[in-house]
């Protein structure tokens, strides 16, 4: 255990502050979405990339990779969202083992109704709190962390 470089007091404060802010922000955004649109943060996260596709369709595997979720989590959520009429799952025509996920008209309405309030909330509780320089620094930090973790996700 001697080769472990423990965090000093400043590093511990940075790490714990980052974790606390991340948890608080994610929980707050999730509450806002549910309160104003009856969509959870996870449902919103699924509907956004689907709504951005020209035909509203993505392979389930690609959607899971995009979100960074395992198959089980994605499968359970897609099943619940399909039951609510927000999306449809169909066999993939290009690969019999795959599934396509397509946003429905109901799902498109839900995301279109949720997006304005969500963007207002994100602006007020995130961007408006940061200077342009802080936003740039955070973007750089996020890219570095994501790049370092990418091999673990592949």
pLDDT in tens, 25-49: 999 999 999 999 999 999 999 999 9
The span from the CA of 77 to the CA of 81, in Å, is 6
**In the chain, where are the structural domains located?**
25-153
The span from the CA of 2 to the CA of 59, in Å, is 47
Which of 53, 58, 45 lies closest to 98, judged by CA? 58
Predicted local distance difference test score (pLDDT) of residue 97: 80
- Confidence (pTM): 0.86
Give the distance from CA 3 to its chain's centroid: 36
pLDDT at residue 153 tops 90 = no
Q: Which CATH architecture has domain 25-153?
A: Orthogonal Bundle (1.10)
pLDDT at residue 1 tops 70 = no
pLDDT at residue 151 tops 70 = no
- What is residue 56's DSSP assignment? S
Predicted local distance difference test score (pLDDT) of residue 138: 96
Predicted local distance difference test score (pLDDT) of residue 38: 94
Token pair, residue 126, equals 């995130």
| pLDDT tens readout for residues 48-74 | 999 999 999 999 999 999 999 999 999
Predicted local distance difference test score (pLDDT) of residue 69: 93
| pLDDT tens readout for residues 69-118 | 999 999 999 999 999 999 999 998 777 788 999 999 999 999 999 999 99
């Amino acid at each position: 255990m001697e080769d472990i470089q423990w965090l000093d007091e400043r590093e511990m404060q940075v790490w714990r502050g980052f974790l606390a802010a991340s948890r608080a922000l994610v929980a707050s955004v999730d509450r806002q979405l549910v309160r104003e649109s009856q969509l959870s943060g996870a449902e919103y996260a699924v509907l956004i990339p689907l709504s951005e596709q020209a035909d509203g369709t993505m392979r389930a595997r690609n959607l899971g990779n995009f979100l960074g979720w395992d198959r089980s989590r994605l499968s359970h959520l897609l099943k619940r969202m399909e039951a609510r009429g927000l999306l449809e799952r169909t066999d993939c025509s290009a690969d019999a083992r795959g599934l396509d996920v397509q946003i429905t008209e109901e799902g498109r309405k839900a995301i279109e109704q949720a997006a304005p309030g969500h963007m207002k909330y994100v602006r007020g509780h995130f961007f408006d709190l940061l200077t342009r320089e802080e936003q740039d620094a955070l973007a750089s930090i996020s890219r570095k962390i994501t790049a370092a973790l990418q091999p673990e996700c592949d």
